Amino acid sequence: MLFSKEDSLVEIWQVVKHELHRGALDVKHPFHWVNLGTISGDFPSVRTVVMRRVSEELHFFVYTDYRSKKCSDLKVNPNATLHFYHPKKQVQIRVKTKAKLHFQDELAENLCKTIPAHRGSEYTGAKAPGTPISNSLEGWNQGDLENHFFTVLELEPFEIDVLQLRKEGHLRVLFAKDKDWEGTWLVP
């Protein structure tokens, strides 16, 4: 359990922030893998991404290919939702965000230099993600880091909804940026 009904809203906020930061730092933490939801035409589109970094201001950073559908979605509508789930602690965290794409800017170029060589092909393929290929062996990933599509998604939160699942009754708290992240208890 991440928090209990006896904890103050300030204590809950501190533990939520701590767990979100841990997710970016620890590859074994359940928050390292996060679901990213975007708006794609008539349907929401959800995929799992890797949380690379969480700043002190709680901006979330994810790496992707600029040609990916998630980037296309976010260029049309920058609203996105992150969904975290911790199975051992039985807690769900949903984060409403506004996305900013960093492509061929200073942040993206600096972070691109940190990508291990064996992972660089994920951002240099001759074909865009989602392009049909004839078979799994087709050479889609040729390219070099000089001609890359490496992009950093910066997701700035404005609302964080935390649901603690419990046998004795669930607990739910909403934290909002426009209220200086002061929490409000909600009916689960």
In the chain, the domains with their CATH numbers are 11-85+99-130+143-157 (2.30.110.10)
139, pLDDT greater than 90? no
Q: Give the separation between CA 20 and CA 23, rounded to whole angstroms.
A: 5
Global pTM reads 0.91
Residue type, 164: Q
Where are the extended beta strands (E) located within the chain? Answer: 33-40, 43-50, 53-54, 60-65, 79-86, 91-103, 150-164, 171-176, 182-186
Instruction: Give the pLDDT confidence score for residue 140 in this predicted structure.
Output: 59
Instruction: Give the pLDDT confidence score for residue 146 in this predicted structure.
Output: 62
Q: Give the separation between CA 35 and CA 154, rounded to whole angstroms.
A: 15
Pair 4, 21: CB distance under 8 Å: no
Instruction: Give the pLDDT confidence score for residue 3 in this predicted structure.
Output: 96
Section 93-112 average pLDDT? 94
Instruction: Give the pLDDT confidence score for residue 133 in this predicted structure.
Output: 74
46, pLDDT greater than 80? yes
Q: Give the separation between CA 151 and CA 68, rounded to whole angstroms.
A: 10
Percent of the chain predicted with pLDDT > 70: 90
Pair 157, 174: CB distance under 8 Å: no
